[in-house]
Chains A and B, each alone.
Chain A
Amino acid sequence: MKWNIEGAEGWKWCEHPAGAAILEAGNAQYYKTGGWRTLRPTLEGKCNNCLQCWIFCPDTAVIVEDEKFAGFDLDHCKGCGICSEVCALKAIAMVDEQSAQEEDR
């Protein structure tokens, strides 16, 4: 079963699947947790695509394309910094989120 997650907050009590079951697999992606972040991972050094960051990221927020590091999913990265810790080349810096946002603007 698929549902329109956008409307879920307005569901009447009898519209919820019984037992608070979530009947659509993988829909956690609709819940954006990037807003929790105070530190942002940023690739500043040289990356050799060992992909330790991808293995360790608890939110699958490291994007990999063609077996190569391709950036961070900032909609879901909570800024925990594990990627930065496990990076063998110390290539990932955790920078202040607010300053990064100001720079983005």
Chain B
Amino acid sequence: MARTVAMTGNIGCAYAMKQINPDVVAAYPITPQTTIVEEFANYVANGEVDTEYINVESEHSAMSACIGASAAGSRVMTATSSQGLAYMWEQLYIASAMRLPIVMHNVNRALSGPINIHCDHSDSMGARDAGWVQLFSENAQEAYDNTIMAIRIAEDPSVRLPVMVLLDGFIVSHAIDRFDLLDHAVVREFVGEHRPVNPLLDLDNPVTLGSFSLPPYYFEQKRQLRAALDAARQVVKEVFDAYAAISGRRYDFFETYRLDDAEVGMVVLGSTAGTARYAVDVLREKGVKVGLLKLRLFRPFPARGVARALSHLKAVGVMDRSDSFGAEGGPVYTETKSALYDLDKKPAVVGYIYGLGGRDTGPTQIERVVEDLINVAGGETIKSPVYLGIKE
């Protein structure tokens, strides 16, 4: 029987890992990810899972061990945050280039410096070009669900890519939330048995993985990675559908809220969607025609769908919880604007940088964005990016 529980997002993620029962977990603790691996280590110590838990001395080693274990043929999971993700940098690209279906939680936390432990998306946004699928979670339910779906997406024969499940540090990871769990048996059946392709431990069919690639080959091999990410879109959709059938929870690349008849709209990722939805309701009460698009899938970016969903608007505010210093705006802004470029009639777009280093983003800030957008819809120009709620 599915049951409703009150757990933090991190414990929900660890619980999903327990239900998946991966062969290998190699991880290093880091705030705010720590309670995921701490809880999972308890399951291992108590014999509740069959997982080989590898204690490592760093995230560099954690991802290296994951790559080795995955190449050997295991189902592999790990988790990290911020500096830990940064320390995995070179291995992130190797995991995707070797087409290893590793599933990793990244509990979003600001990157140093200055050192800070609170939420923003600069860690995973920095890894957006690494060839991983990236799924964002608004709350504990979505973090739990994304974890289970990520296994199927990663291991699909036409994808075979690592998947990063993102959840907002502290806001989702440490707040106790009420959500629904699936039965162990249902989860195990959904993820199925791992069928690795060309595993190193298949001694009858010896292969070499991770070899040197010279200029006559490298270019074609990277093109193949692009094709895999492109193919992932279809698979993500299929997995979302299959998951709806077992959970009753239907997901998509993005979800819209009161957007159909809206004149202005916002694009958000992660936990801020909840705040934005509240603000939309408050403003709708006052007659403001505002709506919301919450992205779940950031890589591969669902550009065409996003463009279609926003095409009827007069103005769009794109909310970035990270900056791409020196660029025109944050990564969600440039991505969204680029998606809109091919439309004949396109909305004006304003980019907002918000909540860096865990700065709280309440309804007042969202209302300020909508106020701006109404002015922009009326012909006013606002220079992007706007640092939302900055002291000035």
Contact = CB atoms under 8 A, between A and B. Distances in A.
A45 interface: no
A105 interface: no
Contacts of A16: 217, 220-221, 224
A97 B99 CA distance: 42
Interface stretch (A18-26, A35-43, A46-54): A18-26
A20 B198 CA distance: 11
Contact of B98 (A8, A9, A14, A20): A20
B148 to A, nearest CB: 24
Most buried by B among A12, A16, A21: A21
Contact of B97 (A12, A15, A19): A19
Nearest to B100: A19
B4 interface: no
A12 B207 CA distance: 21
Given A13-B223, A13-B224, A14-B227, A20 B217 contact: yes
A13 B223 CA distance: 6
B228 interface: yes
Given A8-B217, A9-B216, A16-B217, A22 B224 contact: no
Contacts of A23: 198, 205, 207
A22 B207 contact: yes
Nearest to A23: B207
A21 B213 contact: no
A23 B206 CA distance: 7
Nearest to B216: A9
B211 A20 contact: yes
B220 A19 contact: no
B158 to A, nearest CB: 10
A14 to B, nearest CB: 7
Contact of A20 (B160, B216, B221, B228): B221
A21 B220 contact: no
How many A residues touch the partner, as a band? 10 to 19
A23 B211 CA distance: 11
A25 B206 contact: yes
A18 B217 contact: no
A22 B220 contact: no
Contact of B208 (A12, A13, A22): A22
B220 A12 contact: yes
B201 interface: no
B282 interface: no
Most buried by A among B98, B205, B216, B224: B224
A16 B227 CA distance: 12
Interface string B199-217: 0000001111111010011
Contacts of A14: 224, 227
A30 interface: no
A20 B207 contact: no
Contacts of B223: 13
Interface string B17-31: 000000000000000
Contacts of A9: 216-217
A13 B207 CA distance: 20
A11 interface: yes
A13 B227 CA distance: 10
Contacts of A19: 97-100, 160, 198, 209
Contacts of B207: 21-23, 25
A21 B224 contact: no
B322 to A, nearest CB: 30
23 contacts: A9-B216, A9-B217, A12-B220, A14-B224, A14-B227, A16-B217, A16-B221, A18-B197, A18-B228, A19-B97, A19-B98, A19-B99, A19-B100, A19-B209, A20-B209, A20-B210, A20-B211, A20-B217, A21-B98, A21-B198, A21-B207, A22-B207, A25-B207
Given A13-B224, A21-B208, A23-B198, 9 more contacts: A9-B217, A11-B217, A11-B220, A15-B220, A19-B99, A20-B213, A22-B211, A23-B205, A25-B208
Interface of B: 97-100, 160, 197-198, 205-211, 213, 216-217, 219-221, 223-224, 227-228
